[in-house]
Amino acid sequence: GAVVSQHPSRVICKSGTSVKIECRSLDFQATTMFWYRQFPKKSLMLMATSNEGSKATYEQGVEKDKFLINHASLTLSTLTVTSAHPEDSSFYICSALSGANVLTFGAGSRLTVL
Amino acid sequence: GENVEQHPSTLSVQEGDSAVIKCTYSDSASNYFPWYKQELGKGPQLIIDIRSNVGEKKDQRIAVTLNKTAKHFSLHITETQPEDSAVYFCAASKGWGTGNQFYFGTGTSLTVIP
């Protein structure tokens, strides 16, 4: 089946630094990837839709300059949290859409900003 | 836009009993309905899905039913086991191709009591 690799699984950084999270589709090409943020015991909050070769589409309320998304190839999308603050600490999850319209999730990345 | 509602938010069952989680959707154009299982600290995993051209699908102890007229679909887990304990999300999607959105329910926390 489809596999999505997300890295790193955990990251701790200092306030003011930037952190990059990678999302790779390992055995299929994904023209569309999605980035979610999940708070404890809450549902998935869609942050942005990432389309290969074009600018990401951000959901209302998500700062595009803070959460930079790049989808440079059919198998890789990256999320960079710039100038991170403690309130950015969260569980970030990517997903990739296969040609059969099946959505596969990565394992998630736990970001802690000190 | 699409609105997916999921009930109950929490569910406790005795091991061996059945569990049923229900979702409703609002957009009659939605035609693909996946279910995801999320264990603590991990990304959601696809466990079963159904497309609008069928009314029921079964995979061992898991089944999904779809009522297009009433716009609701349900997940059924029989002979529950402690390892079934997790958060379950339903989703609805329509169409194919770039940028196709998935709309998620708010999740059901299932606890199977040994």
| Residue in chain B lying closest to A107 (CA) | B43
Task: Give residue-wise pLDDT tens across range B101-112.
Answer: 899 999 999 999
Cross-chain residue pair A93–B89, CB shorter than 8 Å: no
Task: Give residue-wise pLDDT tens across range B37-66.
Answer: 999 999 999 999 999 888 999 999 999 999
Q: How confident is the model at residue A68 (pLDDT cuts 50, 70, 90)?
A: very high
Average pLDDT, chain B: 93
pLDDT, position A40: 86
When mean pLDDT is compared across A81-85, A89-93, B32-36, B49-53, the lowest value belongs to B49-53
Mean pLDDT, residues A88-111 taken together:
93
- Provide the 10 A C-beta neighbour count for residue B60: 9
Let me know how many helices (H) and strands (E) chain A has, helices first. 0, 11
DSSP per position, A25-61? ESSS--SEEEEEEE-TT--EEEEEEEETTSPPEEPTT
Closest CB to B42: pick one of A46, A97, A107.
A107
Q: Hey, what are B32's tokens?
A: 């693909």
